[in-house]
Structure 1
Amino acid sequence: MKKESIAYIFTFFLVLLAITFVVSYTDKAESLDNFQQVTIENGDSLWEIAERFQDKSNISRQDFVKWVQDNNNLHSTLVKPGDIVFVPIEKKHNVQLNQLASD
């Protein structure tokens, strides 16, 4: 009987962990829908993008790059042309992204 109790407790915590993971993953995906997306062009870097958006964001360039890395699951600051990343600029700002693309 004691082994069954331990099995139930273990199962309960596994289910709780799974639910927590699903809720946190879903919440993050929904929250990114409120932010601008940028398509990386030739010559772009996260630091350059942070500089272009400096007047639209209220955070430092270093914090901007860190936010982009964390919220786009990037393990470095290297990005490739064609990559799409979310930036910490809310969509309500209506930024003209094609005007910000590098030549």
Structure 2
Amino acid sequence: MNWIKENYFITLFLGLSVVFLTTFVISNTISTEQQHQIKIEHGDSLWELANKFAVDEPKEVWIKNVMVMNNLQTAHIRAGETLIIPEIRDNFHFDHGTEIASDSN
């Protein structure tokens, strides 16, 4: 206890370091969804855009999210408009099938 009183600046430094690191870790683990803008082309629909960009969630949920993000009352979109969509994730998988080496064809 006397060591803490005598070296209060070290204790204060360590305490502030813990608070800073905790804040840093929490702020980086909270997922802030990135947003991207796309320009609507002739023939595009929200359903087609969901087929293209909704990788990890059902298409209906993706469409509702896009409608909320863009304050759309209906699912109708027009060519030339710019829409904000959730983060675009690549659907990348290492496993494209398993091949086993053998002597026979």
TM-score, with normalisation over the residues of structure 2?
A: 0.50
Deviation, 1:65, is: 0.3
Residue equivalent to 1:73 = 71
More helix by share: 1
Residue equivalent to 1:51 = 51
Deviation, 1:45, is: 0.4
- Structure 2 residue matching 1:77: 3-state secondary structure: coil
Deviation, 1:68, is: 0.4
Deviation, 1:53, is: 1.1
- What is the alpha-carbon distance in structure 1 between the residues aligned to residue 57 and residue 38 of structure 2? 18
Residue equivalent to 2:39 = 39
Deviation, 1:47, is: 0.6
Question: What amino acid is the match of 1:59?
Answer: E
Misfit runs of 4+, over 3 Å: none
- Structure 2 residue matching 1:63: 3-state secondary structure: helix
Identity of aligned residues (%): 31
Q: RMSD value over aligned CA atoms? A: 2.0
Question: What amino acid is the match of 1:49?
Answer: L
Question: What amino acid is the match of 2:66?
Answer: V
- Structure 2 residue matching 1:73: 3-state secondary structure: coil
Residue equivalent to 1:19 = none
- For residue 81 of structure 2, the aligned residue among 80, 83, 86 is 83
Deviation, 1:59, is: 1.0
- Structure 2 residue matching 1:58: 3-state secondary structure: coil
- For residue 62 of structure 1, the aligned residue among 52, 60, 69 is 60
Q: Based on CA coordinates, which of the two structures has the bigger radius of gyration?
A: 2
Aligned pair count reads 59
Question: What amino acid is the match of 2:73?
Answer: H
Deviation, 1:88, is: 1.4
- What is the alpha-carbon distance in structure 2 between the residues aligned to residue 88 and residue 70 of structure 1? 11
